[in-house]
C-alpha cells in the first residue's frame, strides 16, 4: 500500500519519440528511446492492481488495526501495536504561563525550542527554535556520541536566550523531551528504549532510560537543566493542540516515520491493573508504525523491507512515511528501466543507489504541472543521473 507508488488510473499508453508535429498531442509520459514505442502498460497495470485499495480491503485493514489496538490495551506484548501508556493523564488547559524548553528527537534532525507562555490572555508571547541535522554516522554510532551531540546543540541554543524570555530567579530550566521512538514509559519523566526505528541503529541505548542518557549528557556539558516530561512526538502534538482547542482528542504524525496517539478511558485499558488516573483518562501512544496484519504490499514494499536494517518490522511505517516513500518510487523506476528501457539501454548508475531518490524529491516532482515537466527532469537528472534528453 505504497501511496507514492500508486499510478494514476489511466488506460494503455506508450512512450514514443517526441517530434515537433506530435509534441502537443503526446501523452504525459514521453522520452526518446531506441525503439519506436516502448510499452509500459503491463507493468503499470500490475502496479495499479497491486496498489488498489477498494473499500472492503480498507475496512478489513481498519478492523485488523482495531483488533490489534484492543489486544495491545489488554496486555503488554499482546499485539504488534505496543499501545504504550504515556503517563499523561491531563492535557494543557490554555492557562499555562512561564518559560519552557523543548527538545524534539525523532528523525534525521533534532529541534530545540523555547517558549514564553502567557496563559489565556496572551497565549504564546515569544518563541525561538533551532534545528540541527544529525550526521549519518551518529545514527549508527554509540549512545554517548549521539546524546553528547544533542547536549552540545542544546547548550549552544541556551546561551542565546534573549531578554524576551524570563525565568524566575533560582528556577532550573525545565525541558520537555519529545523522543519519537518506541519506549516503555515508566513515569512521566522516564522511559526505557524498546528499539530504534526510522533508520537509526545506535548501540548501547536499547533497554536504557533515554531521559537518564540525556541528563547525563547535559551534566557532562555543565548544563543547568532537567527533563521534566518525556513524551513522543504524537503525544507532544496532541498536548500542543489542546493548548488551543479543548476538543482535540487524537494526533497523527506523518513525517520521517508515522505514529498516532489518542485519549482513552482508563476503564478500557485492562493492562492498567489498578493504576489510578486522576482524570479517568490517559493518552495512549499506539506506535502504529509496527502494524502489519492484512496490509496489502507490493513487490517493491517487500523488496525494500527485506533490504532494510529491520526486516519484518515497522511495515505500516515503511509503506507510508517519509523515510521510505522516495526509495519505493526509486525501486519502481528501476524496475521500469530494466523491463522497458525507460531511460535508455541501461539503468543509470546513480538511480541504482538505494535511497538516492528522497521523499522531498518525489513531492516536488508530483507538484510539477508544467507541460514539459521541467522540474521532474531536473530532479531525476540531479539525484538519479537520468539524462534529461531521454526524459519526458
- Asked if the structure places residue 315 within a domain, the reply is yes
* Residue/partner pairs of 19-25 with CB below 8 Å, 24 or more apart: none
Residues 125 and 201 in one domain: yes
Q: Are strands 84-85 and 281-285 parallel, antiparallel or unpaired?
A: antiparallel
**Averaged pLDDT for residues 42-62:** 91
Whole-structure pTM value: 0.76
* pLDDT attached to residue 22: 36
* pLDDT attached to residue 23: 36
Residues 22 and 146 in one domain: no
Phi, psi of 45 (to 5 degrees): -65, -45
Residues 176 and 224 in one domain: yes
Residues 42 and 113 in one domain: no
- Asked if the structure places residue 330 within a domain, the reply is yes
- Asked if the structure places residue 278 within a domain, the reply is no
Per-residue pLDDT band for 143 (boundaries 50, 70, 90) equals very high
CA atoms of 168 and 261, how far apart (whole Å): 34
Condensed to tens digits (0 to 9), the pLDDT of residues 311-343 reads 999 999 999 999 999 999 999 999 988 887 778
Domain end: 207, 223, 247, which one?
247
Residues 221 and 355 in one domain: no
Residues 229 and 371 in one domain: no
- Asked if the structure places residue 271 within a domain, the reply is no
Q: Give the residue numbers marked as catalytic.
A: 198, 233
Cell of 86: 504515556
- Number of domains the chain is built from: 2
Q: How are the residues of the chain apportioned to helix, strand and coil, as percentages rounded to the nearest 5?
A: 40, 20, 40
What number of helices (H) and strands (E) belong to the chain? 11, 13
How many other CB atoms sit within 10 Å of the CB of residue 212?
Answer: 15
How many other CB atoms sit within 10 Å of the CB of residue 97?
Answer: 13
Q: Which of 71, 67, 52, 39 shows the shortest CA–CA distance to 9?
A: 52
CATH classification of the domain holding 99: 3.30.420.40
Per-residue pLDDT band for 390 (boundaries 50, 70, 90) equals low
CA angle 334, 339, 340 (to 5 degrees): 100
Domain end: 228, 247, 266, which one?
247
Amino acid at each position: 500500500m505504497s501511496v507514492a507508488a500508486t499510478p494514476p488510473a489511466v488506460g494503455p499508453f506508450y512512450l514514443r519519440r517526441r517530434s515537433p508535429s506530435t509534441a502537443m498531442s503526446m501523452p504525459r509520459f514521453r522520452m526518446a528511446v531506441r525503439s519506436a514505442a516502448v510499452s509500459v502498460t503491463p507493468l503499470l497495470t500490475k502496479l495499479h492492481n497491486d496498489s488498489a485499495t477498494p473499500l472492503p480491503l480498507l475496512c478489513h485493514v481498519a478492523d485488523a488495526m482495531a483488533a490489534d489496538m484492543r489486544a495491545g490495551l489488554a496486555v503488554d506484548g499482546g499485539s504488534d501495536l505496543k499501545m504504550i501508556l504515556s503517563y499523561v493523564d491531563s492535557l494543557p488547559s490554555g492557562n499555562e504561563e512561564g518559560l519552557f524548553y523543548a527538545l524534539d528527537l525523532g528523525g534525521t534532525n533534532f529541534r530545540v525550542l523555547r517558549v514564553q507562555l502567557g496563559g489565556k490572555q496572551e497565549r504564546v508571547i515569544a518563541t525561538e527554535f533551532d534545528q540541527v541535522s544529525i550526521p549519518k554516522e551518529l545514527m549508527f554510532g554509540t549512545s554517548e556520541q549521539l546524546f553528547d551531540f544533542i547536549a552540545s546543540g542544546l547548550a549552544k541554543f541556551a546561551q542565546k536566550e534573549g531578554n524576551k524570555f524570563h525565568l524566575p530567579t533560582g528556577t532550573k530550566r525545565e525541558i520537555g523531551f519529545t523522543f519519537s521512538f518506541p519506549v516503555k514509559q515508566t513515569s512521566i519523566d522516564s522511559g526505557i528504549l524498546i528499539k530504534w526505528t526510522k533508520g537509526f541503529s545506535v548501540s548501547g541505548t536499547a533497554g536504557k532510560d533515554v531521559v537518564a542518557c540525556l541528563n547525563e549528557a547535559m551534566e557532562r556539558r555543565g548544563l543547568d537543566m532537567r527533563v521534566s516530561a518525556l513524551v513522543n512526538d504524537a503525544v507532544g502534538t496532541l498536548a500542543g493542540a489542546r493548548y488551543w482547542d479543548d476538543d482535540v482528542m487524537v494526533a497523527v504524525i506523518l513525517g520521517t516515520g508515522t505514529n498516532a496517539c489518542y485519549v482513552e478511558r482508563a476503564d478500557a485499558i485492562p493492562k492498567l491493573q489498578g493504576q489510578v488516573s486522576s482524570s479517568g483518562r490517559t493518552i495512549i501512544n499506539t506506535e502504529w508504525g509496527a502494524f502489519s496484519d492484512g496490509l496489502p504490499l507490493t513487490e517493491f514494499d517487500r523488496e525494500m523491507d527485506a533490504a532494510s536494517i529491520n526486516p519484518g518490522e515497522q511495515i505500516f511505517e515503511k509503506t507510508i512515511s517519509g523515510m521510505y516513500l522516495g526509495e519505493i518510487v526509486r525501486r519502481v523506476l528501476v524496475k521500469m528501466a530494466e523491463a522497458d528501457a525507460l531511460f535508455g539501454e541501461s539503468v543509470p548508475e546513480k538511480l541504482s543507489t538505494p535511497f538516492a531518490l528522497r521523499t522531498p524529491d518525489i513531492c516536488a516532482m508530483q507538484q510539477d504541472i508544467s507541460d514539459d515537466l521541467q522540474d521532474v527532469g531536473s530532479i531525476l537528472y540531479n539525484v538519479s543521473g537520468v539524462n534529461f534528453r531521454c526524459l519526458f
